[in-house]
Amino acid sequence: MGGHGGRDLCLGADLLDPWTDAAPEAALQHPAISDILDPALDQLWFRTLFVAAWIALGLALVTRGRRD
C-alpha cells in the first residue's frame, strides 16, 4: 500500500459533502441512533439496563462463537 488511505478517505468525504448538505430535512426524518438514545441514557435506570443488555449480548456472542 502507498500509505495514502487516510488522505483518500478524506478526499472522498469532501466530494460527498455537497450531497449531504443538500438535504438537511433528511436528518430530521432519519435521526442518528445517538440522537435517539442520548435522552434516554441520561436516566440512570435506562443506562443501567442498556449496559446490562450490552454485556449480556456480548457474552452471548462470545459463547456462541466458542460452540461453533
Per-residue model confidence as pLDDT tens digits over 2-39: 555 555 555 555 555 555 555 666 666 777 888 888 88
pTM for the predicted model, two decimal places? 0.49
Q: Please tell me which residue, 53 or 10, carries the higher pLDDT value.
A: 53
Distance from C-alpha of 23 to C-alpha of 18, rounded to nearest angstrom: 9
pLDDT band at 60 (very low <50, low <70, confident <90, very high): very high
Q: Where are the domains of the chain?
A: 5-67
Residue 4's pLDDT is 58
Cell of 48: 443501567
Cell of 1: 500500500
Instruction: Tell me if residue 4 falls in helix, strand or coil.
Output: coil
Q: What is the DSSP string of 17-63?
A: HHHHHH-THHHHHS--HHHHHHHHHTSHHHHHHHHHHHHHHHHHHHH
Residue 30's pLDDT is 75
